[in-house]
Amino acid sequence: MSLLKFLPFVAIVSCAQAVTVSVSATASHAVPTTLFGLMFESGDGGLYAELLQNRAFQQVTAGTSAALTAWDTVNDASIVVIADSSPVSVALPNSLEVTIPAGSSDSGFSNSGYLGIKIDSSWTYNASFYYKSSSGSVKATVGLQTSAGESLASSTIALDDTDDAWVQTYTTLTPSASADAMDNYFTIVIDASDATSDVIIDFAMFSLFPPTYKGRTNGMRIDIAETLAEMKPAFFRFPGGNNLGESVSTRWKWNATLGPLVDRPGRVGDWGYVNTDGLGLLEYLYWCEDMGMDMIMAVYDGYSLDGVAIAEDDMEPYIASAIGQINFVVGDPTTSAAAAWRAALGREEPFNLTYVEIGNEDFTSTTASSTYVYRWEDIVSNLSATFPDLQFIATTYQSGPVLTPTPQHYDNHIYDTIDWFAENSFAYDSYERNSTTYFQGEYAVVADGRLEYPTMWGSSAEAVYMTGLERNSDIVFAASYAPLLNHVNASEWTPNLVGFDSGTVYPSTSYYVQKLFSLNKGDEYYPSTLPSEDGTIFWSVVKNTTSNELIIKVANPTDEEQTLTFDLPFSSVAETGTLQLLTGSQNASNTPAIPNAVVPTTSQLTVGSTFDYEAPGYSVSVISFVVN
């Protein structure tokens, strides 16, 4: 993501006046099925359901206190992360060396999760880890406990003497009760009461999973996934965004995110923490299918956020990697090694893929945009020859360097003030209709000094902009708010569409705006009287041809109620319609303290061939009714 220009942050105040909106009798264009979807960057500690932080000591320096992030001792044990001389895998060179004093029956270690662990008595948790030892056989109690030390789930297993060979063990944990708070721990306590000398055991690749969305192994956190599913997003842009890489060495490597977790090295992510890459390419692909989303998949294009661009003569390995990544998704296992790998992982048939994005934000610097000329040409000429049915999205702006081959699509990003969004409903109206289409891949009100959470004022301004996206959906084929998810106790960038902590999800006012538009996008756009470009009330009209519902969206980013008179040309108009209304005070936000401060309400209203509607201040309204 990139933060673009700011305009003065001034409240929009209206003078209430009636506006007549005459709707056309015929549609002007189809609404793309992909219009509203999701943009994503990384999932550890959030969408990805793994509960243990620093589970495999990936990308940490052995022997340092930082290497023990989220881990602590229980009673008299000592723990240290070591660079193992015989690691569990090439990908995971570090392990946790645990020393239990001889005679101790209740010493061990714990993990605090991603700022907490939810303990739910209705869940069964799957726990696993690797260990090796030459200290004799001992018993270990794997458990979940509260911060007060109350054990709510436990399982006792034997840890045999493995003669220093790695062994993986599994167990399940079913809590006897739910914990009221989230500051809970995963623990392993070892009984060394019969030992005559200290017990030393090495551990690696821990995992603790709750039930997941649709029961996927290594899958998604249920409450976050269900919150996003309620939006019925049309597409999913992955793996990002900035998640493509801070540097060449830390870039997202699709082939390092596949196969057993023990073979995934992980990498330092773009926000300063380690990505396990447990949420890898195959998990993304199944997630898209489970959610019914189309894919907008990015490939690394030789430019990273640190400003380093690969020289043209050195592009071949990156082109080959992009070809391999796409072949893994859509290739034939009989002709492609990457596709054969997919089949070996249990997926013989290809996935559905139409759009491939080449890089990320190649408009951010002179180096990015100038080198994109050859990087785009080298990558796209090779990919289009290999995959003639795919469509490629450029990540410079159309006003930037001239690219060959001419891009079919551009990805535009904008983060700006409330005023900017409220004043730019017409941003795409002047774009040339020349077969080029646009992906609004990232956008959000951020305001001066940033908003901690979206506000009703800012969200209604975003809705103004979205009416313009809908009006221009003959050339805007997709749009996604960004960023998507934020752990409210460890924010990296604000605001975000959905907040969460270890136990709860907090949909924002902007989330509800996105949901209202996504669930009511219709399939045909109907022209109407245009809002004033410098006006204070905005609208868009679409139709669902299956249900014959006319759907009118109204965005009022001002502090006053505003009246619209709708004049409809249809021979038959229902007498009543449904109103979905999101409205609140200017700075109302959904926060952990007040999670449902602003939520949509549904009611009935009187409509007809002509009817008035009074849009409350700071509101987004969706009016739907049957016409013929």
* CA 174 from centroid of its chain's CA atoms: 29
Angle between helices 281-291 and 316-330 (to 10 degrees): 40
Calpha distance 102→193 (Å, rounded): 6
| Torsion angle of C-alpha atoms 317, 319, 325, 330, degrees rounded to 10 | -140
CA atoms within 13 A on the CB side of 560: 13
From the options 3.40.50.300, 3.90.1640.20, 2.60.120.260, 3.40.190.10, give the CATH code of 65-209: 2.60.120.260
Calpha distance 75→98 (Å, rounded): 12
Q: Tell me the whole-structure pTM to 2 decimals.
A: 0.95
The per-residue pLDDT for 3 is: 43
Write the DSSP string, 469-486: HHHTTTTEEEE--S--EE
**Which residues of the chain carry a pLDDT beneath 70?**
1-17, 448-449
β-bridge partners, 128: 170, 207
Q: What homologous superfamily is domain 19-30+526-626 in, according to CATH?
A: Golgi alpha-mannosidase II (2.60.40.1180)
Write the DSSP string, 295-354: EEEEE--SB-TTS-B--GGG-HHHHHHHHHHHHHHH--TTT-HHHHHHHHTT--SPPP--
Which parts of 397-550 fold into alpha helices (H)?
418-423, 456-471, 509-519
The per-residue pLDDT for 547 is: 97
In CATH, what is the architecture of 37-50+214-309+353-370+390-522? Alpha-Beta Barrel (3.20)
**pLDDT tens digits along 498-546:** 999 999 999 999 999 999 999 999 999 999 999 999 999 999 999 999 9
The per-residue pLDDT for 270 is: 81
Angle at 430 between CA 358 and CA 232, to 5 degrees: 55
The per-residue pLDDT for 283 is: 98
Q: Which two tokens stand for residue 568?
A: 């409809």
User: What's the helix, strand, coil split of the chain in %, to 5?
Assistant: 20, 30, 50
Which of 529, 530, 537 has its CA nearest to residue 562? Answer: 537
For the chain, which residues make up each domain, given as ranges? 19-30+526-626, 37-50+214-309+353-370+390-522, 65-209
The per-residue pLDDT for 449 is: 66
Q: Which two tokens stand for residue 528?
A: 């109407």
The per-residue pLDDT for 448 is: 66
Helices (H) and strands (E) in the chain, counts: 8, 33
Q: Is 402 helix (H, G, I), strand (E, B) or coil?
A: coil
Cβ pair 58, 66 in contact under 8 A: no
